[in-house]
Amino acid sequence: PEEETVERLCRELINNEIDAVCFTTAIQVRSLFEFAKERGYIDEVKTVFEERAIAAAVGKVTAEALREEGITRLLAPEIERMGAMIVELSKYYEEKE
């Protein structure tokens, strides 16, 4: 993605403007966290995922990439499909209400 897009995502996460981030590939995970490390945002971004925003992974490989980055609070569907990820995310928020 364009640098300004990732910058905006990091800022919105840090400012608590985002409730969830859907990751569809391990490359997306690595890209976001590498960017955050380079910019000095890594601790803040990790804290947001541990305390507020939920990370949703499309499948096992993407979930493992999140775990490798230290993210333990995440959702991943049994069926590795985007639609299943969205259903899991919806269930998560329904249970919170």
Mean pLDDT of 7-33: 97
Give phi and psi for 55, each to the nearest 5.
-95, 125
CATH among 3.40.50.1980, 3.40.50.10090, 3.40.50.300, 3.90.1170.50 for 3-96: 3.40.50.10090
User: How many C-beta atoms surround the C-beta of residue 39 within 10 A?
Assistant: 14
Helix (H) and strand (E) counts in the chain = 5, 3
Q: Is the pLDDT of residue 1 over 90?
A: no
Mean pLDDT of 5-29: 97
* Distance from C-alpha of 75 to C-alpha of 82, rounded to nearest angstrom: 12
- What are the tens digits of pLDDT across the range 49-86? 999 999 999 999 999 999 999 999 999 999 999 999 99
Q: Are 25 and 62 in contact (CB under 8 A)?
A: yes
* Distance from C-alpha of 78 to C-alpha of 15, rounded to nearest angstrom: 31
Q: pTM for this structure? A: 0.92
